[in-house]
Amino acid sequence: MKLLVVAATEFEIAPFISQNKAGDILITGVGSPACTYALTKRLQQTNYDFIIQAGIAGTFKNSFPLGETFIIKNDVFADLGIYENERFFTLFDKKFADPNAIPYQNGRLENPLENKFNVPTANSITVNTVTDDFSQSQIFKKKYDPDVESMEGAAFHYVCLQENIPFLQLRSISNFVGERVKTNWKMKESIERLNNNLIKIVDQLNASVL
C-alpha cells in the first residue's frame, strides 16, 4: 500500500516520524490554504492508496477527555460564509453553493470510510482563526454542534474527496475550545496518544487491504 501521512507541523507527529518505516510524510504548514496547496501539489507528483492526516485539536464537549484520540467522520469550513445582523450564514444558507454538490453531503465533508480501527469518532469544524472569544464559539456550537475544532481538517477532506482517495483524519484532544492558557492543555498526553494510534493504524493498513 502506498501511504501518505499528513500533518500541519512536524511537532505533532515527531514520535511517528522517528520510527516510521513505511509511508511518505508531508508537513503542510498550519491552516487550510497551506494544507490545500501542499497536499494538492504532492498528489500531482505521486499516487497514493491511502492518506492519513494526524494532529491535535480543541474540543467543544466537556464530556470529551483531554488526550483522547478520535477519527473525524465529517468536517466543514465553519467560518466560510456571511456574518449579517449578528447572525452567521453559510454559503449554502445564502444559496451561493449547493450543499450536495460534490464533494459535499448536506453541506458537510463526510468520510465514507468504514471505521475498522477501534478508535471513537467525532465530527469537526475547521476555522481560520483560533480564539478565546466566547460569542464566536457559541455561534459555531449553535450552527454545527461540533465535537472538535482544527485549522486544516476540512481542507484535507475536501482534497481527498475531490481526488477520490481513501483517507482518515485522526485528532487528539489537547484543550477545550476557548481555553488559551497553555498550562491547562494536555499537549504531551494528546501527542503521545495521537502517535500511538497513528502507528497502530498504519500497521493495520499495511497488514491488510481495506
Q: pLDDT tens-digit profile of 43-98?
A: 999 999 999 999 999 999 888 889 899 999 999 999 999 988 878 999 999 999 99
Nearest partner of 69 among 170, 187, 188, 202, judged by Cα: 170
If DSSP codes are grouped into helix, strand and coil, which group holds residue 207?
A: helix
Q: What is the pLDDT of residue 107?
A: 95
Interval 157-189: pLDDT, tens: 999 999 999 999 999 999 888 766 677 778 899
Q: Domain tally for the chain? A: 1
The grid coordinates listed for 92 are 449554502
Give the residue numbers spanning the domain of 30: 3-207
CATH code of the domain in which 126 resides? 3.40.50.1580
User: Would you state the cell numbers that stand for residue 112, as one nine-digit string?
Assistant: 465514507
Amino acid 65 reads P
Q: What is the pLDDT of residue 209?
A: 59
Question: 26 with 6: CB under 8 angstroms?
Answer: yes
Q: What is the pLDDT of residues 188-208, one digit of tens each?
A: 999 999 999 999 999 999 887
